[in-house]
Structure 1
Amino acid sequence: MSDQHFDTLVLGSGPAGEGAAMKLAKGGQRVAMIERHREVGGGCTHWGTIPSKALRHNVRRLMEYNSSPLFREAGEPRHLSFPTMLRHARQVIEQQVGLRSRFYLRNDVPVRQGEARFLDAHTLELTGPDGRASRLSAEHFLIATGSRPYRPADVDFDHDRIRDSDQILELDHTPRSVIIYGAGVIGSEYASIFRGLGVKVDLINTRDRMLAFLDDEISDAISYHLREHGVLIRHREEYESIQADDAGVTLALKSGKRLRGDLLLWANGRTGNTDGMGLEALDIMPNSRGQIEVNEDFQTAQPHIYAVGDVIGYPSLASAAYDQGRYAATHMLEGDCDYRLAHDVPTGIYTIPEISSVGRTERELTDERVPYEVGHAFFKDLARAQISGQTVGMLKILFHAETLELLGIHCFGDQAAEIVHIGQAIMAQPAPGNTLRYFMNTTFNYPTMAEGYRVAALNGYNRVS
């Protein structure tokens, strides 16, 4: 068993680990990346963000084609299978893996494949795919091992008709009906994907409303449009049992309902990948969901061991994870960090239509007794949306009724995750540049979706002027 010493060992090559490794390497450190899987990219690239968003994009294009009167003149509606869509998503995955592999090669960061376990506070044992073990030591460690779908013990995930959000990417057919248990971000996105392929979808929500962290108006909008597309949503339900056989799967709910489908997709919760790493012996105690507690600089109970990304829980976004990795790396290099990560992290949810928001919601502002007003721009009124045929949705601006300071940006509809960044940039400006007046006094290209900011700003200003 050989020993090798590095300045920093990074565990996990997803966005968080990659961001840290690149920052450390460019800062002159000798860094190695530890990855348990054969290819770099982490869950984001292989099982989460990239495949699901690539799937969603292709399904949306198919829906757009089939619903367009123009294309109906060219022929009948088309139908594509789930495996066909997956095959095209895998092409994106391959491109991402190739790109990210070159990052490590170009920056002289060796990638070591295997399972890592701490032997002591500065030493890892790495067991490779061939079963051979080696020892690696370092001054600092960064844990960015991500998360995996939560699996309750009484659900048989070995049965072919029960899948979690990782296993669904191995599906080799298009089911006639799908029961999705969990109406969070992942469940809602896959409800859109399957319904777009013409699959009957039952979406089971364990809570009172869908995506309750969103602004209520946006939450209501996505519920309405999923139902309009044919998704049956059932709120305040919990499973009693899940039984699968050769012909299908039966979900028994505590309310007494019994649902039958070809397939059940479990999309209810995530678990941090911390088991078997020997963290407890270092007084780093993951919680019941495998998540690690860190301070504001992403340090664990051992100050030289950092943790970032999904393994520390909220917000569990690839975008935030990358920035957390870079922040932690800066702290390692300099002992401090002269900047703080932005408090307002945008949320992107790739349902059909998609959702994105940044800042506070109406409910939060009401609870805080902040005098606010609302400006709307409905996509059906925007020329660009009329041209593209994507007229469902709206841009919503929340602002202080007296100072006009921007307090929240909420967008629902086509390109929402792109549109929100304009509002995010202005919100982040120091006063008085962060007010509604910016959008009222700025000339936007016409016709564009961005023009919605001017429309919404004028709509809101008319309420207070």
Structure 2
Amino acid sequence: MPKTGFDLVVIGSGPAGESAALNAAKQQKKVAVIEVNTQVGGACTHKGTIPSKALRHTVKQLMRFNNGTLFREIGHSRQIPYPTVLKHAISVVEQQVDMRSKFYGRNNIAVYKGRAKFINDHNLSVTRADGSVEELHSQEFVIATGSRPYHPPDVPFEHSRVYDSDTILSLEHTPRKLIIYGAGVIGCEYASIFSGLGIKVELINSFENLLAFLDDEISVALDYHLRESGVMVRHREVYERVEANQEGISLHLQSGKIIRGDALLWCNGRSGNTQNLGLENIGLSSDGRGQIKVNQRYQTDVPNIYAVGDVIGSPSLASAAYDQGRAAASSNDKDVRFVDDVPTGIYTIPEISSVGRTERELTDNKIPFEVGRAFFKDTARGQISGEGTGMLKILFCPSTLRILGIHCFGAEATEIIHIGQAIMKQPDTANTIRYFVETTFNYPTMAEAYRIAALNGLNRLSGY
């Protein structure tokens, strides 16, 4: 069996793997990337972030046309089939693959297409689609194999009416009614997308509220706007069994309810891709969800083997994965950062983003705070653009004015949040809500909401 030597071998070419490989190459290391699929990019590019967000963008454009008074004067509303919308949306995937392939070429990173399996802590085999095998030797490895949708054994995923968050991107018809089981981030995002297409959606949530990690006010707002868009949200419901036949889907709940629809989208958790990786050959193991334990340096229990991205669990975000991969491949410990301050970005319609603490966390920890709000309907830019839904909310310390948390719900929330995040990252003397009233913002902009929210909060304090 031929053997090739490297300084670093990365398993997986998603955000975490790509970032690790590029950072190592910039340090003049000899690097290889192993990708099990025929194209680079990982699930993020092909089945997750990129296609779903492109799909959301297309649906949002369609909603804008169907709901705008200007467009009503020139034509009737349009109901476009899901496959047509999907075909238009995923065209961006080809652009992403082309761009990322060039990254590897420009940095002299060898790309192997095949399935990796550890032989020992310095060697692994790559089995190609044609059955040929090559052995790679490396001083270090980074496991960045990502995750896949969790499949309970009693759910018939082999049936043509049952989908997960990967296979929904191959749906070839437009269901009249879609059942979504699991109201996490992915479930809520797809509920927004499909309801935006005029499809009836039943969203089944096993918890008390939607996305309980959000600030309560934002969670309630999301629930309201999903219902307003036609989504039937059912809380505290757990499935008992799923029946699928040629006529449709019947989801039996433990409460005794039976929810019927044309298709089922299962969005209830993900599992790390560690199966058949040969972890037992290097003394490693994964937990029940296929995730690998790492330290603050992203090292596994085998010192020369690192793990990053979805395969190590929370926060399971592409944004975090990029930073994790870069940290794992850094030779200088000063360049290593354990990623624990990631802003939340949820691409529902409207979208959500937050950073820092919530009202509930501050109250439970007996930390005094005050609140400043700006409603987008009261901003000139929101009125001009027709994006009046949503708000920006700043939580801050009443005595020091230090910013404790920022929460945004509405158009461009995932962009707006970074202004506040930048201020929160400053030293305590510079991290203050007064920055937003002492800085001139462009007018009219959505970012101006920071000034409005800051003034609203300061007006609540005595002496202002």
Q: TM-score range by the shorter chain?
A: over 0.9
Say whether the 8 Å CA contact 2:119–2:282 is kept in structure 1: no
- Structure 1 distance, partners of 2:382, 2:90, is 30
- Structure 1 distance, partners of 2:258, 2:425, is 49
Selected match of 1:442 from 406, 423, 439: 439
Cα-to-partner distance string for 1:232-270 (whole Å, 9 max, x where unaligned): 011111111101001111100010000110000000000
User: Counterpart in 1 of 2:170?
Assistant: 170
Cα-to-partner distance string for 1:77-133 (whole Å, 9 max, x where unaligned): 112111111112221000000000000011010110111110111110110011111
User: Counterpart in 1 of 2:65?
Assistant: 65
Q: Match for 2:264: what amino acid? A: L
Q: Match for 2:205: what amino acid? A: N
Q: Match for 1:66: what amino acid? A: N
CA offset at residue 356 of structure 1?
0.4
- Structure 1 distance, partners of 2:45, 2:219, is 27
User: Counterpart in 2 of 1:454?
Assistant: 451
User: Counterpart in 2 of 1:238?
Assistant: 238
Q: Match for 1:366: what amino acid? A: T
User: Counterpart in 1 of 2:427?
Assistant: 430
- Structure 2 distance, partners of 1:63, 1:304, is 50
- Structure 1 distance, partners of 2:197, 2:62, is 8
C-alpha distance 271-36 of structure 1, shift in aligned 2 (>3 A): same
User: Are 1:199 and 2:196 matched, yes or no?
Assistant: no
Cα-to-partner distance string for 1:396-435 (whole Å, 9 max, x where unaligned): 0000111000010100001000000000000000121110
Q: How does 1:361-440 map to 2 (within 5 A)?
A: 361-440=358-437
Cα-to-partner distance string for 1:151-201 (whole Å, 9 max, x where unaligned): 000111110100000000000111100000000000000000000000000
Q: Secondary structure at the match of 2:51?
A: helix
Q: How does 1:309-324 map to 2 (within 5 A)?
A: 309-324=309-324
Say whether the 8 Å CA contact 1:9–1:31 is kept in structure 2: yes
Q: Secondary structure at the match of 2:74?
A: coil
5+ residue gaps, structure 2: none
User: Are 1:45 and 2:42 matched, yes or no?
Assistant: no
- Structure 2 distance, partners of 1:281, 1:127, is 17
User: Counterpart in 1 of 2:184?
Assistant: 184
C-alpha distance 284-337 of structure 1, shift in aligned 2 (>3 A): farther
Q: Secondary structure at the match of 1:240?
A: strand
Say whether the 8 Å CA contact 2:324–2:339 is kept in structure 1: no
CA offset at residue 283 of structure 1?
2.2
User: Counterpart in 2 of 1:22?
Assistant: 22
- Structure 2 distance, partners of 1:66, 1:417, is 24
Scaled by the length of structure 1, what TM-score is found? Answer: 0.98
User: Counterpart in 2 of 1:133?
Assistant: 133
User: Counterpart in 1 of 2:344?
Assistant: 347
- Structure 1 distance, partners of 2:12, 2:88, is 26
Say whether the 8 Å CA contact 1:181–1:268 is kept in structure 2: yes
Q: Secondary structure at the match of 1:119?
A: strand
CA offset at residue 338 of structure 1?
4.1
CA offset at residue 11 of structure 1?
0.3
User: Counterpart in 1 of 2:227?
Assistant: 227
Q: How does 1:112-123 map to 2 (within 5 A)?
A: 112-123=112-123
- Structure 1 distance, partners of 2:155, 2:335, is 47
Cα-to-partner distance string for 1:207-244 (whole Å, 9 max, x where unaligned): 11100000000000000000011100111111111010
Question: 4+ residue runs of structure 1 moved beyond 6 angstroms?
Answer: none
User: Counterpart in 2 of 1:264?
Assistant: 264
- Structure 2 distance, partners of 1:223, 1:361, is 17
Scaled by the length of structure 2, what TM-score is found? Answer: 0.99
Q: Secondary structure at the match of 2:255?
A: coil
Q: Secondary structure at the match of 2:194?
A: helix
- Structure 1 distance, partners of 2:143, 2:128, is 18
Q: Secondary structure at the match of 1:337?
A: helix
- Structure 2 distance, partners of 1:342, 1:206, is 29
Q: Match for 2:90: what amino acid? A: R
User: Counterpart in 1 of 2:6?
Assistant: 6
CA offset at residue 325 of structure 1?
0.4
Q: Match for 2:376: what amino acid? A: F
Q: How does 1:322-341 map to 2 (within 5 A)?
A: 322-330=322-330, 333-334=331-332, 336-338=333-335, 340-341=337-338
Q: Match for 2:144: what amino acid? A: A
Name the stretch that deviates more: 297-306 or 280-289.
Answer: 280-289
Q: Match for 2:396: what amino acid? A: F
Q: Match for 2:142: what amino acid? A: L
User: Counterpart in 1 of 2:248?
Assistant: 248
How many residues are matched? 462
Q: What is the RMSD computed on CA atoms of the aligned residues?
A: 0.8
Q: Match for 1:298: what amino acid? A: Y
User: Counterpart in 2 of 1:109?
Assistant: 109
Q: Secondary structure at the match of 2:79?
A: coil
Q: Match for 1:180: what amino acid? A: I
- Structure 2 distance, partners of 1:185, 1:412, is 14
- Structure 2 distance, partners of 1:228, 1:192, is 11
Q: Secondary structure at the match of 1:464?
A: coil
Q: How does 1:200-215 map to 2 (within 5 A)?
A: 200-215=200-215
Q: Match for 1:367: what amino acid? A: D
- Structure 1 distance, partners of 2:334, 2:178, is 48
Q: Match for 2:267: what amino acid? A: A
User: Are 1:96 and 2:96 matched, yes or no?
Assistant: yes
Say whether the 8 Å CA contact 1:327–1:337 is kept in structure 2: no
5+ residue gaps, structure 1: none
